[in-house]
Amino acid sequence: MRASLASSIAVTCAAVLALPVSLTAPAAASAPPAAALALPPAPELPGSTQSLPLEPLGAATRALGGAAGAGEQGLTRRDVRPFSLVGVVWDDPAAPLHGTVQVRTRATGGGAWSQWQDVETHNDEHGADPDTAEGSARALRGSTAPLWVGDSDGVEIRVRGEEPLPAGLRLELVDPGEGPGEDPAAASEESAPRARGVAAPAVRAGTAAAEEAASAANARLAPYGATWIPALPKEETELTARNMPQAQAAPAAAAAKPYIGPRPKIITRKGWGADERIREKGFIYTKTIKAAFVHHSATGNNYTCKQAPSVLRSIYRYHVKSSGWRDFGYNFAVDKCGNIYEGRAGGVAKPVMGAHTLGFNTNSMGIAVLGTFSRSAPPAAAVTAIARLTAWKLGLHGVNPKGTSYLISGGGNLYKKGKKVRFNAIAGHRDGFATDCPGGRLYNKLGTARTSSAKYQGRL
């Protein structure tokens, strides 16, 4: 597979950046007072983003017990259109935000406000490698991690800087929109049709080209439009893998075919409701997969597994519309119940280049466990899902999950550009960057994941 291979499939990009309306906004002179309280209808496209510029905090900050100053910005309580995820962005992606970001929200239709919640300021530790087209795109912005808050219609935020705050701070409020009616996480494996060696379908009238392309990328694993890719036993997985194009492109992987773990069930982008129109067209691939970096999404743990597709749609929109990335950053996601989801488009069995571990996205893959695991222990189901996913995906490329691999730094991290760095085949994000990610409690479980993954491959 050629590095940085891009598809030429066309796509029409449709983007809606909905501007917020606050209760404090002045009403038109001719309108009655009640009209000032009316919020505009939600856009027709699934999902939307409200972007609110932050303001200097003065008397409001002092009332919260802080000292007002140039290093503090935010917004006082206000009503907004419904949203479920929050984050903060700023103009210069290279400018760090050193300080604290805290928000509190009001549940939709409730009236009760939450406690203050911290938003992780991860300062460029995620994202595309610096010298790639995505990493140097003009649309890129600095951004915090996103935080899932659930259905809300009121917000308050305060940002306190230890150093001068970056310019252009804005609060992003993301509504994930409605997802597909079927719940692929709960669907029966027995009802899933299987596909092996299925040719890519012709573009169908009335269907977006980008959606066709995303489905066709998985055509050898599931039929067009499938909401999930079914699990396969180890023997069938090995048989299917022999017929994949990378078997001819990677002799080392072909020699290690007995060490491919059984393919787990994977919920596709179609299954979690990705709007293919908002990402950039085409796909970008690297040569192979040598290592898997494990992350936590830092979106908090206050979600149900039924809500996981909504969390993914929110992160996806935040990555693309707010942060300026070409697509969802991670190659895969795992929820607290152990469900595995396709992340960045391009095909789950292919070496898709992501934007998950700054400087080490080439020849690696990123897995985000939905949640925050700095103080909370990851569910056993999530750790098992990491093991099952890596046993399969690393196995396709002849990688021993208990072994090590070398990657070349693309710069922007702990290592200078061009340095050859050795990683565990299943590594944590913190191994390549000065970050807490994937959280200490999840990081401590990676040894368990490596051992289990090797067992799934049949190595132990």
Q: What is the pLDDT of residue 131?
A: 76
Higher pLDDT, 131 or 309: 309
Average pLDDT, the chain: 83
User: pLDDT confidence of 308, banded at 50, 70, 90?
Assistant: very high
Please check the confidence at residue 355 and state whether its pLDDT lies above 50.
yes
Residue 372, phi then psi, degrees to nearest 5? -130, 120
Q: What is the pLDDT of residue 12?
A: 34
Tell me the mean pLDDT in the region 72-82: 96
User: pLDDT confidence of 9, banded at 50, 70, 90?
Assistant: very low
Q: What is the pLDDT of residue 433?
A: 84
For residue 345, count other CB atoms closer than 10 A to its CB: 28
Higher pLDDT, 70 or 376: 376
Task: Write the pLDDT tens digit of every residue in 108-126.
Answer: 988 789 999 999 987 656 6
Q: What is the pLDDT of residue 54?
A: 97
Give the whole-angstrom CA distance, residue 313 versus residue 296. Answer: 16
Please check the confidence at residue 250 and state whether its pLDDT lies above 70.
no
- Whole-prediction pTM: 0.84
Tell me the mean pLDDT in the region 337-344: 98
Task: Write the pLDDT tens digit of every residue in 176-196.
Answer: 998 877 678 887 766 665 554
User: pLDDT confidence of 139, banded at 50, 70, 90?
Assistant: confident
Please check the confidence at residue 154 and state whether its pLDDT lies above 70.
yes
Tell me the mean pLDDT in the region 425-448: 93
The secondary structure of the chain, three-state, reads: CCCCEECCCCCCCCCCEECCCCCCCCCCCCCCHHHHHCCCCCCCCCCEEEEEECEECCHHHHHCCCCCCCCEEEEEEEEEEEEEEEEEEECCCCCCCCEEEEEEEEECCCCCECCCEEECCCCCCCCCCCCCCCCCCCCCCEECCCEEEEEEEEEEEEEEECCCCCCCCEEEEEECCCCCCCCCCCCCHHHCCCCCCCCCCCCCCCCCHHHHHHHHCCCCCCCCCCCEECCCCHHHHHHHHHCCHHHHHCHHHHHCHHHCCCCCCEECHHHHCCCCCCCCCCCEECCCCCEEEEEECCCCCCCCHHHHHHHHHHHHHHHHHHCCCCCCCCCEEECCCCCEEECCCCCCCCCECCCCCCCCCCCEEEEEECCCCCCCCCCHHHHHHHHHHHHHHHHHCCCCCCCEEEEECCCCCCCCCCCEEEEECEEEHHHCCCCCCCCHHHHCCHHHHHHHHHHHHCCC
